[in-house]
Amino acid sequence: MHRRTLPWGPLRGLALASAGVLALSSCGGGLGDDDAGGGDGDTLVIGYVTPQTGALAPFGEADSFVVDQMTEYFADNPIEVGGTSYDVEIVVKDTQSDSRRAGEVAGELINDDGADLILAASTPDTVNPVADQCEANGVPCITTVAPWQPFFFGRGGTEDEAFDWTYHFFWGLEDVEAVYQDMWGQVTTNQQVGALWPNDPDGNAWSGDFPGAVDANGYTINDPGLYENGTQDFSAQIAAFQGADAQILAGVPIPPDFATFWQQAQQQGFRPVIATVAKAILFPSAVEAIGPSADGLSTEVWWSPQHPFTSSLTDQSAQELADAYEQETGQQWTQPIGFVHALFEVAVAALEEAGSTDSQAVADALSGLQVSTIVGDLDWTSGPVPNVAKTPLVGGQWRAAEGGEHPFELVVVSNSEAPEIPAAGTVEPLS
Amino acid sequence: MTWVNAVVQGILLGGLYALVAAGLSLMFGVMRIVNLAHGVLAIGAAYLALEVADRLGWHPFLSLLVVVPVMAAVGYVLQRGLLDRALRGGELAPLLVTFGLAIVLQNLLLEQFSADAQRLDVGSLGTASIRVTDGLSIGWFPLLSAVVGLLVVAGLGQFLARTRTGRAMRATSDDQEAARLMGIDNRRLYAIATAIALGTVAVAGVFLGSRTTFDPGAGATTLIFAFEAVVIGGLGSLWGTLAGGVVLGVAQTVGAAIDPAYGILAGHLVFLVVLAVRPRGLLPAAVAR
């Protein structure tokens, strides 16, 4: 009997992992092209795929705010495409943090909702299956909030063989490597780095790329080995870091694993001078959950209210958009707000540039698009690979704000990679 | 010292696993119900403790005074209202019902508390430790959770062995028909067993919620490790569950000391080996059929 009970837990994880493949095989073929891109005459249908529930839900937290804002905006400002004015209908689909489902709902958007254009955001697990589905069905697709390498190389893209329908904007591993090293360089250490890489797509990419990238600057990565997400005890890693006298901590753990690690590190007396942690401490809620010991942790910053950019649609500055979010939701701003907003900016720019709602025209417009958005200037003609436009990346440190509006504030402390974004301080060593 | 440290931390972790698994073990031992909602219920208890701690400004451990009785009451009603009916539907029905319950509960938690990570704040207890020697420190919090795990298992064992209700539970578990002939109301007993199980789940939830962050989806991992502890130890045997938890915890930490990639894998392997070699577990249950 117990054997029957097993598949629930482990297989969920397995399903997540193998999902992209399944989604493709189940939804790829047999669908007439005439269904695609066939919205109503004067209404454009924009599909938006995002994880609103499940493990990735914090990424989707800003979605309803931005979608509401955009729905309101489009009600007052129909899109002008080739002299015709179009109403816009935004259809939102929740992936439930399951990459197989992400592919399925993208298929639904294409076949049932007649989406003219599909947007998707948040982690390769969401972005890749949606983009694959769009590529297979010939529907233009814009994605973001996933490093560009997994989007491009992870889907089999090469310098010669790029994609026809799917376009992406975000930063890449090379940026996060540069930003982290700039932050490490701001404090005095022995240049020994303890690496907390999980055995997932992020951990695999980082562990493969980081050592070579930081070696030239004298940093040594001490990597005890990739661990499984959900690990309940990190004494082995902590012992290894202490053995190597690592004064720098770097990692890309999921939030609960980092909370487990950080609490145990303090029990075991491991206290690095600087800790640069991706993914686990992106969101204020996760930082608050870690508690007082989160003060001084550093992370990469892709968007903040201090970014000197304005929306091409609403003319709001980054600060104004963040303020509107905080007022509307009563929650602290999070980084995805800007990027989800920018998705719609890019969508509008591409449609206007195309001058037609024809799928091919929109895809062609995307391939050469240049647009200034609330996340920076995007340029698909000068990306590292075709289909990709890069956004600027800076580094930030979480600081406990005594008596402030929020318990922790994210302060930009490194802008070596993007000097146009003002830094508000320098890295303070962990006490 | 690496190995000593790995084993010590593994034993402490195992104590926590036993604490989490005790309720699962009890429900299986008495009613043969594999409660797939076990993990989500523990997370639910953590959210309840969070609410109590937030609203009343209580320490999470003090909130147990409220959370344990509430969860026990939930258990009683759950058994009477839902699981009893499911039990009449055959062996598979309770499994499906608890599976469905897990999904419903998880989504209710998501609706109510959003996907934000949360944590119960136990203050400096969370990070304090005893430094034994170089390379071996024992955290107070892991130590406390292991001791509580031991106490809960011992307490349940005493209850089953020494009290009239406990003996009646074992009798019902051994032979339901004969027990009923002796005038034992098995449905009342089942409800009490589930109430007790969920009371221990409440304690487990508070410890889980204090040691790391949790969100509505955190129950799945919890369930797997608890489940493995129960199977390794022997289905339905409480002391077996304690042993199973410790074996699982030590396997994970020693595996991780060899290579971090082998941590969780080592735990799963031990689980599979036990299933293959001793399918009834390390300490087959006195209460098992």
Residues A282 and A406 both lie in one domain: yes
Q: Cβ–Cβ of A233/B9 closer than 8 Å?
A: yes
Q: Cβ–Cβ of B110/A57 closer than 8 Å?
A: yes
> How high is the pLDDT of residue A24?
35
Domain containing A142 equals 34-171+306-389
> How high is the pLDDT of residue A405?
85
Q: Measure B98 CA to nearest chain A CA, in Å.
A: 11
Q: Is the pLDDT of residue B6 over 60?
A: yes
Q: Is residue A45 part of a domain?
A: yes
Place of tokens 């064992």: B157
**Which of A258-262, B221-225, B285-289 shows the lowest per-residue confidence on average (mean pLDDT)?**
B285-289
A233 touches chain B (CB under 8 A): yes
Q: Is the pLDDT of residue A232 over 70?
A: yes
In this structure, chain A runs to a length of 431
Q: pLDDT confidence of B91, banded at 50, 70, 90?
A: confident
A96 touches chain B (CB under 8 A): no
Q: Cβ–Cβ of A267/B215 closer than 8 Å?
A: no
The pLDDT of B159-169, averaged and rounded, is 92
> How high is the pLDDT of residue B24?
94
Q: Cβ–Cβ of B220/A9 closer than 8 Å?
A: yes
> How high is the pLDDT of residue B286?
53
Alpha-carbon torsion angle B211, B217, B220, B226, nearest 10:
30
Find, in chain B, the residue whose alpha carbon is nearest to that of A266. Answer: B127
φ, ψ at B80 (rounded to 5°): -65, -45
Q: Cβ–Cβ of A199/B261 closer than 8 Å?
A: yes
Residues A155 and A212 both lie in one domain: no
Residues of B in contact with A255 (CB under 8 A): 117, 213
Residues of A in contact with B95 (CB under 8 A): 1, 4-5
Identity of the residue in B91, B137, B141 whose CB atom sits nearest the CB atom of A268: B137
Tokens of A9: 């837990």
**Which of A63-67, A391-395, B217-221 shows the lowest per-residue confidence on average (mean pLDDT)?**
B217-221
Higher pLDDT, residue B122 or A192? A192
> How high is the pLDDT of residue B255?
93
φ, ψ at B136 (rounded to 5°): -140, 105
d(CA A13, CA A6): 12
Q: Is residue A13 part of a domain?
A: no
Higher pLDDT, residue B176 or B158? B158
Q: Cβ–Cβ of A54/B121 closer than 8 Å?
A: no
Q: In DSSP terms, which residues pair with A91 in a beta bridge? A: A47
Q: Is residue A190 part of a domain?
A: yes
Beta-carbon contacts of B89 under 8 Å, excluding residues fewer than 6 positions away, are none
Q: Is residue A25 part of a domain?
A: no
Residues A83 and A187 both lie in one domain: no
In the sheet that A388-389 helps form, which strands lie side by side, from edge to edge? Answer: A79-81, A84-94, A43-50, A117-121, A141-144, A166-169, A388-389
Q: Measure A208 CA to nearest chain B CA, in Å.
A: 15
Residues of A in contact with B137 (CB under 8 A): 267-269
Q: Which tens digit of pLDDT belongs to each residue from A12-65?
A: 433 333 333 333 333 333 333 333 344 445 899 999 999 987 778 888 888 999
Q: Is the pLDDT of residue B216 over 50?
A: yes
d(CA A28, CA A7): 27
Place of tokens 């971090």: B260
> How high is the pLDDT of residue A5?
36
Residues A194 and A263 both lie in one domain: yes
Provide ipTM, 2 decimals: 0.86
Mean pLDDT computed over every residue of chain A: 88
Please report how many Cα atoms fall inside a 13 Å half-sphere around the Cα of residue B85, on the Cβ side.
8
Residues A404 and A271 both lie in one domain: yes
Mean pLDDT computed over every residue of chain B: 91
Q: Which domains does chain B have, with CATH numbers?
A: 2-288 (1.10.3470)
Residues A58 and A164 both lie in one domain: yes
Answer yes or no: are the C-beta atoms of A266 and B43 closer than 8 Å.
Answer: no
Answer yes or no: are the C-beta atoms of A247 and A190 closer than 8 Å.
Answer: yes
Residues A242 and A254 both lie in one domain: yes
Residues A186 and A167 both lie in one domain: no
**Domain count within chain A:** 2
Q: Cβ–Cβ of B6/A235 closer than 8 Å?
A: yes
DSSP classification of residue A112: T
Angle between helices A173-185 and A201-215 (to 10 degrees): 50
Q: Is residue A28 part of a domain?
A: no
How many Cβ atoms from other residues are within 10 Å of residue A235's Cβ? 29
The pLDDT of B23-46, averaged and rounded, is 93
Q: Cβ–Cβ of A224/B260 closer than 8 Å?
A: yes
Answer yes or no: are the C-beta atoms of B191 and B95 closer than 8 Å.
Answer: no
Residues A65 and A130 both lie in one domain: yes
Q: Rounded to whole angstroms, what are the CA distances from A14 to A230, A332, B224?
A: 14, 34, 14
Q: Is residue A9 part of a domain?
A: no
* Identity at B174, one-letter amino acid code: D
The pLDDT of B9-35, averaged and rounded, is 93
> Where are the strands (E) in B79-148, listed by range?
129-133, 136-139
Pairing, β A248-251 against β A192-196: parallel
> How high is the pLDDT of residue B285?
63
Q: Cβ–Cβ of B6/A4 closer than 8 Å?
A: no
> How high is the pLDDT of residue A2?
40
Residues of B in contact with A280 (CB under 8 A): none
Q: Cβ–Cβ of A289/B118 closer than 8 Å?
A: yes
Find, in chain B, the residue whose alpha carbon is nearest to that of A57. Answer: B115
Q: Rounded to whole angstroms, what are the CA distances from A379 to A24, A301, A355, B120, B212?
A: 29, 20, 19, 45, 41
Residues A186 and A211 both lie in one domain: yes
Q: pLDDT confidence of B182, banded at 50, 70, 90?
A: confident
Residue A58 sits at the vertex; the CA angle it makes with A371 and A256, to the nearest 5 degrees, is 130
Q: Measure A63 CA to nearest chain B CA, in Å.
A: 13
Residues A90 and A109 both lie in one domain: yes
Identity of the residue in A2, A228, A259 whose CB atom sits nearest the CB atom of B264: A228
Q: Cβ–Cβ of B220/A226 closer than 8 Å?
A: no
Find, in chain A, the residue whose alpha carbon is nearest to that of B8. Answer: A235
Q: Is residue A1 part of a domain?
A: no
d(CA A424, CA A306): 9
CATH of the domain at A222: 3.40.50.2300
Tokens of B14: 């195992």
Answer yes or no: are the C-beta atoms of A90 and A67 closer than 8 Å.
Answer: yes
Find, in chain B, the residue whose alpha carbon is nearest to that of A232. Answer: B13
d(CA A349, CA A370): 9
Identity of the residue in A1, A12, A226 whose CB atom sits nearest the CB atom of B261: A226
> Where are the strands (E) in A256-357, listed by range?
274-277, 298-301
Q: Is the pLDDT of residue A66 over 80?
A: yes
In chain A, which among 127-186 make CB contacts under 8 A with chain B? Answer: none
Place of tokens 């968007």: A303
Q: Is residue A7 part of a domain?
A: no
A263 touches chain B (CB under 8 A): yes
Q: pLDDT confidence of A246, banded at 50, 70, 90?
A: very high
Q: Cβ–Cβ of B263/A227 closer than 8 Å?
A: yes
A365 touches chain B (CB under 8 A): no
Q: pLDDT confidence of B247, banded at 50, 70, 90?
A: very high
Q: Cβ–Cβ of A233/B253 closer than 8 Å?
A: yes
Residues A297 and A332 both lie in one domain: no
d(CA A49, CA A36): 17
Residue A371 sits at the vertex; the CA angle it makes with A369 and A374, to the nearest 5 degrees, is 145
User: Which of A5, A64, A232 is most worth mutating to test chain B (most B CB atoms within 10 A of its CB)?
Assistant: A232
d(CA A131, CA A149): 14
pTM, 2 dp: 0.84
Q: pLDDT confidence of B132, banded at 50, 70, 90?
A: confident
> How high is the pLDDT of residue A256?
86
Q: Cβ–Cβ of A267/B260 closer than 8 Å?
A: no
Answer yes or no: are the C-beta atoms of A389 and A168 closer than 8 Å.
Answer: yes
d(CA B272, CA A263): 31
